[in-house]
Homo-oligomer: A and B are copies of this chain.
Amino acid sequence: MHVSFALAKIYTYVNVEVIGLNDLGEFKMKIDVTQHLTLGAKRTLKAFRLAMFEALSEKEFDKITVNDICKKSEYPRATFYNYFDDKFDLLQYLWSYIGKDILNKIPRDGDEEEGLVKIFNLLLEFFNDHQELLANITKNNGSDSHLWHSMSGYLRHEANILVYNYCKDNDQVKVPVKLLARFYSDLIIAVLEWCLFEQPEIDINTADEYLVNLLNGGLNA
């Protein structure tokens, strides 16, 4: 009884909603960052965001509790739950906040292959420019952590939206456009993870070659 209604209830009196799903995949957050936020809400969100970021540099994500976040941010637990469903939700908010840095640089339309490589390069570049962030994310964890999966899931989602725009007008392809976009964004993330975790000293040209080779059919290489 206690748990059964957990997700059914929405605090309508808080300026907090569920982002409508676009048809390119799920990425739900309790707070709607596109909505107007009052000063107080902004202040509180910032406190939680910073608290999580700080906590992430101190211990691995699995060991971080909502209590930790609340102690750091100096808010009671109940306030936390006004803004976030759980610590995963806060994490997604953190990624979307950080992610703005990357996404703004990406051109909205253009050639498909060119666009893919561009997105990939921006992502790779971003992590090169933010080594300490990547270190935080993978500290005490491999590439196999909740933490990285959460971030890469977000990046895949954003890449998917961009890629979909690149190829939605192309009516020559023999597979559904949505599937094609999914394929492309999976590919980008796969090569990205390879570069970050398996071959960190790789140069960008080789990385691009890998991407393009796979793009043009892994078999007939």
Using CB atoms and an 8 Å cutoff, list the residues of chain A in contact with chain B. Answer: 3-4, 6-7, 25-26, 62-63, 65, 112-113, 142, 144, 172-176, 178-180, 182-184, 186-187, 190-191, 194, 198-199, 209-210, 213-221
Residue among B3, B174, B182, B221 making CB contact with A175, cutoff 8 Å: B221
Given known A176-B199, A198-B179, A210-B175, contact A219–B186 (CB-CB < 8 A): no
Q: Is the CB of B186 within 8 A of A218?
A: no
Q: In whole angstroms, how far apart are the Cα atoms of A216 and B221 in the complex?
A: 10
Q: Is the CB of A183 within 8 A of B218?
A: yes
Q: Is the CB of A191 within 8 A of B179?
A: yes
Q: Is the CB of B144 within 8 A of A26?
A: yes
Q: Is the CB of B25 within 8 A of A221?
A: no
Given known A176-B194, A183-B218, A218-B173, contact A26–B210 (CB-CB < 8 A): no
Question: Nearest chain B CB to A199's CB is how many angstroms away?
Answer: 7
State the number of copies, please.
2
Residue among B26, B179, B218, B220 making CB contact with A184, cutoff 8 Å: B218
Question: Nearest chain B CB to A148's CB is how many angstroms away?
Answer: 11
- Contact residues in B for A4 (Cβ distance below 8 Å): 63
Given known A63-B3, A209-B174, A215-B219, contact A190–B186 (CB-CB < 8 A): yes
CB closest chain-B residue, reference A144 = B26
Please name 16 further chain A to chain B contacts, defined as beta carbons within 8 Å, in addition to the given A25-B144, A173-B218, A216-B220, sorted by A numbering.
Answer: A112-B219, A113-B219, A172-B221, A174-B213, A175-B209, A178-B198, A179-B190, A179-B214, A180-B218, A183-B187, A183-B218, A184-B218, A186-B186, A186-B190, A215-B218, A217-B217
Q: In whole angstroms, how far apart are the Cα atoms of A175 and B220 in the complex?
A: 12
- Contact residues in B for A220 (Cβ distance below 8 Å): 216
Q: Is the CB of A175 within 8 A of B218?
A: yes
Q: Is the CB of A187 within 8 A of B186?
A: yes
- Contact residues in B for A186 (Cβ distance below 8 Å): 186-187, 190
Given known A179-B191, A179-B194, contact A219–B221 (CB-CB < 8 A): no
Q: In whole angstroms, how far apart are the Cα atoms of A213 and B199 in the complex?
A: 29
